[in-house]
């Protein structure tokens, strides 16, 4: 029981260590990050990472760096023991990835920890064993030059923290993300990642950043990126950003590096958002951006896990990023300037199609008619028997008792007359709602592909999709892993037969972002169904009166026809009473 007597006490070392570990070691991926950064600071040319059960059971990092003598190995277990800074002035010009001296003691305090290390000039190495912060063994050991660190049973002595870990697949996804970013930032170092005995990555040293990006992201995504370069004052920026012609509104992969450190900053996000063409709306372009500036111009010590940085001169950083993005997009802009202007848009009241011919144009102003010649009101379009609302059925009320299709507007909306008023329907949102409910209600009904298709994803997206394959299969996909970051598709849900299966799965993988965590099988199923349904929102629709009517009829069978799965309205209703009020007929 905690005391509240007002007295100040020094925390016991084991309590202080666990609290400090909470800042540095959030999950297995944080262990991987800290150990890989130590290996890079040690000058390693090759780094091998292995995890079991997403890092919950084991995180192992081996390098061929400078290694440590016995005295240094023992000292690195002490908090605030570091080889990277000597005095307070060094904090103002940090040029290493780690510097606080907290990573090793923090990891060792919440795991069964071992360290084997040898300097190149030494005849033998040293082995240390630490159990939950207590040193239990020190001995000489045979070892190649470099260091091997193993952390087993993470949070073995902090069960409350262990409960907050997600599934093994989710934790592995976080590990892959950390691994990929550090590998991307240091292309001349060889990296490998093994998960549960399975080789995930084997990256040989690359000649430059472009080659490493291609190795990690794959050729297709790398080809969508344009090189960029810019500078302002002491800040230099280079990298790659997605060409507008490739832009997907679902993209979110932006990899930002500051002096070789994966990092973020509000200034960077703002600069990218402002410099990228606004005509792309809210889309977030994929990008790999390297920012280089003198160490004393950036503060990397503003976040316990060193995720965020702060710049001394934000304006120069923003301007350098803006110039770099401009350099990447300038060729496309110059090409567009030489193209002939587009033909002016000619509005029409109905889309042209073979199944529906638009009526002949009417006069701009209706001709007067004699009262005896008033045309009769057309008979309402017949409505299927299941469309009228049954007064006693309150579990699935229909939006109207009957409807008559009126027109398709030039902007693609459907206009309906109903028993209660006028309705405007967004057909894209309608198809999204229909697809969502059919996916969840058809129990995995599939349509076999004549020729199997393959889709290659970025490593992080591939990890997310791999972790959710059972759920994806339950919705009607027949899919299996088909090599590194590649999947083979043999069948798709019946509802998406008209869409490109690889594009749909790419959208699903991107939507399964690491921020969503694990919330149960039902949540994952609905999340994936929502993602698949969203693919219909951007699909081409050449609608006729007949197909529009059929779409509305199917919409009426939905449990929730009023909003799409993302919560946006499917229809806007204007009641007869409101029309009368506005026209002064009330």
Tokens describing residue 396? 């699935």
Do the bridges between strand 112-118 and strand 146-152 make them parallel or antiparallel, or are there none, so unpaired?
Answer: antiparallel
H or E element that contains 114:
strand 112-118
How far apart CA 73 and CA 61 sit, in angstroms, is 16
How far apart CA 34 and CA 97 sit, in angstroms, is 9
How far apart CA 34 and CA 46 sit, in angstroms, is 16
| Least confidently predicted of 11-20, 185-194, 416-425 | 11-20
Mean pLDDT of the chain: 79
Confidence band for 523, pLDDT divided at 50, 70 and 90: confident
- Backbone angles phi and psi of 262, in degrees to 5: -60, 125
Greater model confidence, 86 or 451: 451
- Backbone angles phi and psi of 210, in degrees to 5: -60, -45
Q: In angstroms, what CA-CA distances link 172 with 26, 258, 320, 396, 434?
A: 14, 25, 35, 42, 34
At residue 572, the pLDDT reads 94
Tell me the whole-structure pTM to 2 decimals: 0.67
- Ordered by start, the domain boundaries in the chain are 13-206, 218-331, 379-426+543-582, 431-538
Confidence band for 95, pLDDT divided at 50, 70 and 90: low
Cα–Cα nearest to 399, from 554, 526, 580: 554
Q: Say whether pLDDT at 383 is over 60.
A: no
Give the pLDDT confidence of 236-272 residue by residue, as tens digits: 999 999 888 766 655 567 899 999 888 888 889 889 9
- Backbone angles phi and psi of 173, in degrees to 5: -60, -40
Cα–Cα nearest to 28, from 159, 192, 170, 175: 175
At residue 543, the pLDDT reads 84
- Backbone angles phi and psi of 465, in degrees to 5: -65, -40
Q: Give percent above pLDDT 90 in the chain.
A: 41
Greater model confidence, 397 or 66: 66
Do the bridges between strand 571-575 and strand 421-425 make them parallel or antiparallel, or are there none, so unpaired?
Answer: antiparallel
CA dihedral 294, 266, 21, 76 (to 10 degrees): -10
Judge: domain 431-538, CATH 3.30.830.10. Answer: no
**Could you tell me which residues are beta bridge partners of residue 456?**
486
* 3 state DSSP class of 323: helix
User: Where does 379-426+543-582 sit in CATH, by number?
Assistant: 3.30.1540.20
Provide the total of helices (H) and of strands (E) in the chain, helices listed first: 17, 22
Query: Is 228 in contact with 324 (CB distance < 8 Å)?
Result: yes
* 3 state DSSP class of 475: coil
User: How is the beta sheet containing 225-232 ordered, strand by strand?
Assistant: 225-232, 235-242, 287-292, 254-258, 261-262
Give the pLDDT confidence of 296-322 residue by residue, as tens digits: 888 877 666 667 888 999 999 999 999
**Choices 3.30.230.10, 3.10.180.10, 1.10.3210.10, 3.40.50.300: CATH for 218-331:** 3.30.230.10
Confidence band for 22, pLDDT divided at 50, 70 and 90: low
Query: Which DSSP string corresponds to 24-60?
Result: H-SSHHHHHHHHHHHHHHTT-SEEEEEEEGGGTSEEE
User: Where does 13-206 sit in CATH, by number?
Assistant: 3.30.565.10
Q: Which long-range contacts (CB under 8 A, 24 or more apart) does 473-478 make?
A: 473/444, 474/444, 474/525, 475/439, 475/440, 475/444, 475/525, 475/528, 475/529, 475/532, 476/439, 476/442, 476/444, 476/445, 476/446, 476/447, 477/446, 477/501, 477/505, 478/446, 478/448
The angle at the Cα of 76, spanning 72 to 78, to the nearest 5 degrees, equals 125
């Amino acid at each position: 029981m905690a005391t509240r007597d007002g007295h100040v006490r020094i925390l016991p070392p084991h309590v202080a260590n666990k609290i400090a570990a909470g800042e540095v070691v959030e999950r297995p991926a944080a262990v991987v990050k800290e150990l890989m950064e130590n290996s890079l600071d040690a000058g390693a040319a090759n780094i091998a990472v292995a995890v079991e059960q997403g890092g919950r059971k084991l995180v192992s990092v081996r390098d061929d760096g400078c290694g440590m003598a016995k005295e240094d190995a023992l000292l690195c277990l002490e908090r605030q023991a570091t080889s990277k800074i000597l005095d307070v002035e060094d904090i103002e010009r940090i040029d290493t990835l780690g510097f606080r001296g907290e990573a090793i003691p923090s990891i060792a305090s919440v795991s069964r920890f071992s360290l084997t290390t040898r300097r190149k000039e030494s005849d033998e190495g040293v082995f240390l064993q630490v159990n939950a912060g207590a040193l239990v063994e020190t001995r000489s050991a045979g070892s190649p030059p470099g260091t091997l660190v193993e952390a087993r049973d993470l949070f073995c002595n902090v069960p409350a923290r262990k409960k907050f870990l997600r599934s093994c697949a989710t934790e592995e996804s976080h590990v892959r993300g950390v691994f990929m970013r550090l590998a991307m930032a240091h292309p001349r170092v060889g990296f490998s990642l093994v998960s549960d005995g399975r080789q995930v990555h084997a990256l040989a040293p690359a000649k430059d950043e472009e080659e490493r990006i291609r190795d990690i992201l794959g050729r297709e995504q790398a080809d969508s990126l344009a090189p960029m370069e810019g500078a302002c004052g002491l800040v230099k920026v280079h990298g790659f950003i997605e060409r507008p012609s490739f832009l997907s509104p679902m993209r979110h992969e932006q990899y930002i590096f500051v002096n070789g450190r994966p990092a973020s900053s509000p200034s960077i996000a703002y600069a990218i958002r402002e410099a990228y063409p606004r005509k792309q709306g809210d889309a977030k372009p994929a990008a790999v951006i390297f920012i280089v500036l003198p160490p004393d111009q950036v503060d990397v010590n503003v976040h316990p896990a060193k995720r965020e940085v702060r710049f001394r001169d934000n304006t120069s950083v923003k301007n350098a990023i803006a110039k770099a993005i401009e350099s990447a997009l300038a060729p496309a802009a110059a090409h567009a300037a030489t193209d002939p202007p587009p033909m002016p848009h000619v509005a029409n009241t109905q889309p042209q199609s073979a199944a529906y011919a638009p009526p002949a144009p009417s006069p701009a102003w209706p001709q007067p008619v004699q009262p005896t010649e008033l045309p009769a009101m057309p008979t309402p379009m017949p409505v299927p028997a299941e469309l009228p609302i049954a007064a006693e059925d309150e579990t699935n009320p229909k939006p109207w008792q009957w409807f008559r299709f009126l027109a398709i507007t030039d902007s693609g909306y459907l206009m309906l007359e109903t028993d209660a008023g006028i309705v405007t329907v967004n057909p894209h949102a309608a198809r999204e709602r229909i697809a969502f409910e059919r996916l969840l209600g058809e129990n995995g009904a599939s349509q076999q592909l004549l020729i199997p298709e393959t889709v290659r994803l970025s490593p992080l997206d591939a990890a997310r999709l791999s972790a959710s394959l059972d759920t994806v299969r339950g919705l009607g996909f027949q899919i299996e892993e088909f090599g590194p970051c590649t999947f083979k598709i043999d069948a798709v849900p019946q509802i998406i037969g008209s869409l490109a299966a690889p594009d749909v799965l790419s959208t699903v993988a991107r939507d399964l972002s690491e921020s969503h965590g694990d919330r149960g099988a039902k949540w994952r199923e609905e999340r994936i169904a929502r993602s698949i349904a969203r693919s219909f929102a951007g699909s081409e629709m050449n609608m006729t009166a007949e197909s529009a009517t059929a779409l509305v009829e199917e919409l009426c069978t939905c449990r929730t026809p009023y909003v799409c799965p993302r919560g946006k309205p499917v229809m806007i209703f204007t009641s007869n009473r409101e029309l009368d009020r506005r026209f002064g007929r009330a």
